[in-house]
Amino acid sequence: MSPHGTGTAPAASPAAGAERDGDRLPHRPAALAPRARLVPALVAVYRAQLSRARVARIPLLFVATFQSVGIMVLMRGVVDGGSEARAVVSGASVLVVAFVALNLLAQYFGQLRAAGGLDHYATLPVPPAAVVLGAAAAYASFTVPGTILTAVAGSLLFQLPLAHLWVLVAVVPLAGAALAGLGAALGLLAPRQELATLGGQLGMSAALLLGVLPPDRLPVLVDWARDLLPSTYGVQALADSFDASPDWTAVGGDLGVCAAVGLLSLTLATWAYRRAAVR
């Protein structure tokens, strides 16, 4: 007789029966968190990279700006004005972008790969493109103050008009994307950290020689090599904007080429990140 007066014992649960028979229920693994979307993940990586690199990169940005301004001062004794002055100021301004986005980013990803830091990002539920784009955007952001300062100082030094310097709003992100993608790819594809650093240094030297020197004084073969450098189109767009009546079609064409090269280089860097992360 049961305490409830029904005459029957309460039914045992299936789980309790399984426990009593010595059979355990199959273990169900917990569902993983859904993969983060590209834009929120990109913003998170960008903020993290910006906060980490802020203290360490500011002195290097000062060096990049001082270097570009010093080059313009030296070239002032050789170049008087005209198209050569526009080329020098534009090349020196974009050189700040090359120093940070290409050189430093190549070193960063080379060091990250050598130290096993890519394993940390590989465990996060973020798309590979968010890691590459977030780091590239953070490094390119550091170039904005130095590029503006260099362009203004060069315009005053060579007595160039300041009216169209707003073109930097397009030149900096587009040239920065092209060079940052190239720098990230160099750092991720280099088999050793030292080679990544060497590749970044050579890339910055190419931006210096092919971007700052007036193209009219370069040999034909070097001029062809200049067309292969992504930052060249940003330099040319900025140089054309110094004209009294700029050819905006030519400026837009150069910026379009720079944007296309930036898309290709960032795609290459994303592929290089996937390749390096699985090893």
Q: What is the largest CA-CA distance in the chain?
A: 113
Tell me whether residue 260 is in a domain: yes
Q: Look up residue 247 and give its two tokens.
A: 């050819």
In a domain, 266, yes or no: yes
Q: Is the pLDDT of residue 147 over 90?
A: yes
- Does position 32 have pLDDT exceeding 50, yes or no? no
Residue 23 pLDDT greater than 60, yes or no: no
Confidence of residue 260 (pLDDT cuts 50, 70, 90): very high
Distance CA 167, CA 3 (A): 88
What pLDDT is stored for residue 159 in this prediction? 92
pLDDT of 238 over the 90 cut: yes
Range of the domain at 74: 37-277
96 domain residue, yes or no: yes
Q: Using an 8 Å Cβ cutoff, are 197 and 191 in contact?
A: no
Instruction: Label residue 144 by pLDDT band (50, 70, 90).
Output: confident
26 in a domain, yes or no?
no
Distances (CA, A) of 123 to 29, 212, 269: 18, 42, 19
The reply to whether 12 falls in a domain is no
Pair 71, 92: CB distance under 8 Å: yes
Contacts of 63 (CB under 8 A, 6+ apart): 99
Q: How confident is the model at residue 30 (pLDDT cuts 50, 70, 90)?
A: very low
**Mean pLDDT to the nearest integer, 52-67:** 75
**Residue 9 located in a structural domain:** no
What does the pLDDT look like over 160-195, one tens digit per residue? 999 999 999 999 999 988 898 899 999 999 988 899
Write the single-letter amino acid at 104: L
Q: Any idea what DSSP says for residue 116?
A: T
Is residue 2 in some structural domain?
A: no
Whether residue 64 lies inside any domain: the answer is yes
Q: How far is CA 251 from the centre of its chain?
A: 23
How many structural domains comprise the chain?
A: 1
